[in-house]
Structure 1
Amino acid sequence: MFDNKDKTNLNELGEFGLIEYLTKQVELTQKSSVKGIGDDAAVLDFSNYKTLISTDLLLENVHFDLRYVPLKHLGYKAIQVNLSDIYAMNGMASQVTISIGLSSKFPLEAVEEIYEGALIACKKYGVDLIGGDTSASTQGLVISVTSIGYAETDKIAYRSAAKEGDLICVSGDLGGAYVGLQLLEREKQIFLENPNIQPDLEGKDYIVERQLKPEARKDIVELLAALEIQPHAMIDVSDGLASEILHICKASNVGCKLYEEKIPIDPMTYETAREFGLDPTVCALSGGEDYELLFTIPQDDYDKVKGQLDISVIGHITEASAGYQMISKSGNVHDIKAQGWNAFKSEE
């Protein structure tokens, strides 16, 4: 896949040389970053804030396919999906570590691209890269990112704090990342059958970007704070709307009622899903990787969010005995079931 001619073999640098090479231009900008790369451990000081920590693992051919995922995008996405977990706690991300396992097929220049994408994401979101590791891998490319952040004790939003009567809100739009993945997979198959045919992604930039270059919703956390809204429960939409609302309901011991017509779906997502013979609503419910924020707020805060173009009220929290329901556009009641992506599902 890589043309290694005139490329730098990683063996020429060694592990410590590689780390030094990749991190030589890293600068610390967060006040909480006391010590970053260069010692046995980073030193952080969050003063009176609670510390938030999350880790994600991305594996080649499980979480990404290098036949259509550019390495720079992969580095960017690896950071974004992890920051999203901090924002899903209604917190602010401040530091990350990134560890990479790679095989000998990757030259130095390939690793540089991954780090370049990661550092672009860090700079954009004001996050410090404070450490990590590199290792040889016999199982393809492995990326592990740990994100660290902070929040005031009474501002943290747990999955378990939804209350009966709460409004259910979601940021942005849903289903785009999944439909973008279907488009990329289709073009990959066409290419494998005939390498002379170039991918046809014209006019589909938005949904392709939703898959390859997601954006964590730090802005929504900042917006809620500006609106003086304290979300009761919150989660990011990584595995599909259905899976995430069930996580909240089960953790909070409540039920829910969603309204299909209220679920935000971009026109390009809708049209492309139809082209593939897919139900756009199912793509939103079960697709995943949108990295939007799903949260519940008190009914009294409705007036604060009703004019916000990037927040949709899609239902409300009910008592647990009412179950988990979605009201279709035609008025039919459907039980909500989690059918999101499963990393441990065996291949058929």
Structure 2
Amino acid sequence: MEYIQTLLLELLKTPSPTGDTKTIIRRLTEEVSSFGITSTTSRKGALLFTVPGEDASKARLLTGHVDTLGGMVKEILPSGRLRLTQVGGYAWNTIEGEYCEVHTESGQTITGTVILHNTAVHVNREIGKTERTQDNIEVVLDAKSDTKKEAEALGVSVGDFVYFDARSTITPSGYIKSRHLDDKASVAILFGLLREIQQKSIKLPHPVHFLISNNEEIGYGGNSNIPPETWEYLAVDMGAIGDGQTTSESCVSICAKDSSGPYHLGLRRHLVSLAEQAGLTYAVDVYPYYNSDASMAMRAGVDVKHGLIGPGVANSHAYERTHVAALDNTFKLLLAYVQSPLVME
């Protein structure tokens, strides 16, 4: 768990909005290499590697996505402020007041703050009633930028990526607070699993393919590069917490159904059985407004048994929180899963 937490903090501090993931994929490529494993990168920029197993006629695939929510400069306003377009899906009010960085085409990084237009309560009494939208959420740069011309002189242009400050911390009580736990928490867990397999020379009954996808937040991260011998496809992504859900910040969540429909029943039952045998804290849930790389692969016509598990994460697509216990329960379920028989029914 120490390794998982250390890697997670590093990943959270590395900006990687969908469309701008080269830096973090390069870092994870180095991490894979440190375990003596060769990896490849897809044309879309996803990272793929395999741990061998005894029977290579059928394989498993585990995926987690390293791309996150973010922004992009849509317009430079006459005031020198910036108007954003969203990268991924989130409510505008969840980024209000957030520190950010604008990464320019010339390679410069300019800090700033995301604020509501005319945000001073002393001159605008309607602030509390104002709906936050793409037309009134703006970025104020931490540089002399009072006109469009001054902003452009700084190197800012339409299409520049905007990174939101993750503000990552692990409290003494074990809570992890940060943006982008979706899905960097799961990616760190997958690398913890890889480390455990390699360091303890664990023999696997079947090969395990790892796919670190980089386009999940826009809906097509895990639809390609799936080896033909893949029998089971397990997405490792956050478990959503909220009213009507049983998932908590301490458990591993096993998804029965999301907006795409039910996940494979036999695989889900197998995961529940493994969790119970290991004495893990788990929950089975339905996510009403959710899709995963696994469900997107099914929509693309991939012939696999698909499942979805992950650590319980509160406040999804906002300032998120989980607990180290959720990381631990997810890790232990994955470790049991990769050593178990395939689901044949």
TM-score by length of 1: 0.25
Identify, as 1 or 2, the structure richer in helix. 1
